[in-house]
Structure 1
Amino acid sequence: MKRSEINDILRAGDAFIRSFNFLLPPFAAWTPDDMRARRPNIGEIIGSDLGWDITDFGSGAFEERGLFLFTLRNGREEDLRRGAGMCYAEKIMVVRQDQITPMHRHIVKGEDIINRGGATLAVKLYASDEEGGIDRSHDVRVATDGLVQELDPGSILRIAPGESVTLLPGVWHAFWAEGGDALVGEVSTVNNDRTDNVFAEPVGRFPEIEEDEAPWRLLVSDYGKWFA
């Protein structure tokens, strides 16, 4: 992806989030120079991958296959392993109309996917088979706002604003918005996007960036280069 494209997506996504009176933390407004100036004090932001995140999943076609995210908080995997401490994470996402986040599951992370406003969120669901692959023969079990449902494999669950679905580890899911763009929240156990995502087909989770202009905001995938 070109940096100019990423900058445009960030500005549009920021405006969309604000249109729902959902306010991001102060560091969302920091420029790269602001972050460099604060480097001694932002170890938690960098170490926990907090902030802006954009991916086209290696497609080169963000409008059709991509996702816009901002990680607001993220706990520690060592706390999760010992069962005490900061064991949770939270994201806000902009899911565009007909823009697909491809089929995937998580190894450790359980998550609530919450439609915070806008259009309908469509989620296609499968259970895992014994080898961890997509089970096309057996029902998939999920909870929607506390109500357990048994759905046919490949069912598409449509989540209206205010509704949510709980996806436990091993539940395969792909999603997109219908009838417009959706503001989508994620509340989960600790999030590690580098090790905990299993996709049904090979994808690139973080984009390769062509630096055709200066970054407006840094992505979490920029931190390694900027703050090595």
Structure 2
Amino acid sequence: MKRSRVNEILLQGDEFIRSFGYAMPPFAYWTPAEFRARRAEARGLIDARLGWDVTDFGSEKFDAVGLFLFTVRNGNVADLAAGRGMLYAEKIMIARKDQVTPMHRHGVKAEDIINRGGGTLVLQLFGSDAEGALDREAGATVPVDGIVRSLPAGGILKLEPGESVTLLPGVWHTFWGEGADVLVGEVSTVNDDRTDNIFADPVGRFAEIEEDEDPVHLLVADYDAWLGEPS
């Protein structure tokens, strides 16, 4: 993706998020220069990979295959083994109308996916086989706002604004917006996007950026190059 396109998506996405009354944290609006100047005090958010994330999953067709995300808070993976500490994470996302997030599952993360407003959020679900691979003959049983629903293999679940679904590790899912763009909330256990996204087909989790202009804001995928390796 060209940086100019990423910048455009960031500005449009921020406007869409704010239109629902969702206020972003102050660091969301730091310039790259300000981030560099404050990186010592910002070590915690850098290590936790808080911030902007725009991806086309390597498709080079963001409008058709992609996702807009902002990680608001995130704990430490090491705390999960100890069973104490900050064991949770939160994201705000935008699933555009007819824009697909590729089929994937998580090995560790359990998540609530919440339609915060806009159109209908549509998910397609499958179960896993004994090795954790996508089983196209296996359905999925998931709580929808606490009410358990069983779907057949490839079953379609539609969430209207205010509705949510809980996806446990091993539930394969793909999703997109229907009717209009959707503001999507995610509340989960600790999130590690570098290791805990298993896709049904080979994709790139983070976009390859062509630097045709300066970034308006850094993406989490920019942190290593712009701010140094995380501690």
Q: What is the CA–CA distance in structure 1 between the aligned matches of 2:153 and 2:187, rounded to whole Å?
A: 24
Aligned position for 1:214: 214
Instruction: Please say if residues 117 and 182 of structure 2, whose CA atoms lie closer than 8 Å, have aligned partners that are also in contact.
Output: yes
Aligned-partner residue type, residue 123 of structure 1: L
Aligned-partner residue type, residue 98 of structure 1: D
Aligned-partner residue type, residue 208 of structure 1: E
Q: How far does the alpha carbon of each residue in 1:26-51 deviate from its partner, in whole angstroms, 9 at most, with x for none?
A: 00111111111112100011100000
Q: How far does the alpha carbon of each residue in 1:193-218 deviate from its partner, in whole angstroms, 9 at most, with x for none?
A: 01000000000001111100000000
Q: What is the CA–CA distance in structure 1 between the aligned matches of 2:138 and 2:113, rounded to whole Å?
A: 23
Q: SS at 1:41's partner residue?
A: coil
Aligned position for 1:50: 50
For structure 1, which runs of at least 5 residues remain unmatched after alignment? Answer: none
* Structure 1 residue 138: Cα displacement: 3.0
Q: Percent identity?
A: 63
Confirm whether residue 68 of structure 1 aligns to residue 72 of structure 2.
no
Instruction: Please say if residues 125 and 174 of structure 2, whose CA atoms lie closer than 8 Å, have aligned partners that are also in contact.
Output: yes
> Aligned-residue CA RMSD in angstroms?
0.6
* Structure 1 residue 163: Cα displacement: 0.2
Q: Which 10-residue stretch deviates more, 6-15 or 124-133?
A: 124-133
Q: What is the CA–CA distance in structure 2 between the aligned matches of 1:5 and 1:59, rounded to whole Å?
A: 14
Q: SS at 1:174's partner residue?
A: strand
TM-score (norm 2): 0.98
Aligned-partner residue type, residue 169 of structure 1: P
Q: What is the CA–CA distance in structure 2 between the aligned matches of 1:39 and 1:57, rounded to whole Å?
A: 28
Q: What is the CA–CA distance in structure 1 between the aligned matches of 2:89 and 2:214, rounded to whole Å?
A: 30
TM-score (norm 1): 0.99
Runs of 4+ in 1 over 2 A off after TM superposition: 136-139
Q: What is the CA–CA distance in structure 2 between the aligned matches of 1:196 and 1:133, rounded to whole Å?
A: 14
Q: What is the CA–CA distance in structure 2 between the aligned matches of 1:165 and 1:39, rounded to whole Å?
A: 36
Aligned-partner residue type, residue 175 of structure 1: F
Aligned position for 1:40: 40
Aligned position for 2:102: 102
Aligned position for 1:160: 160
Q: Where does 1:77-226 land on structure 2 (aligned, <5 Å)? A: 77-226=77-226
Instruction: Please say if residues 89 and 188 of structure 2, whose CA atoms lie closer than 8 Å, have aligned partners that are also in contact.
Output: yes
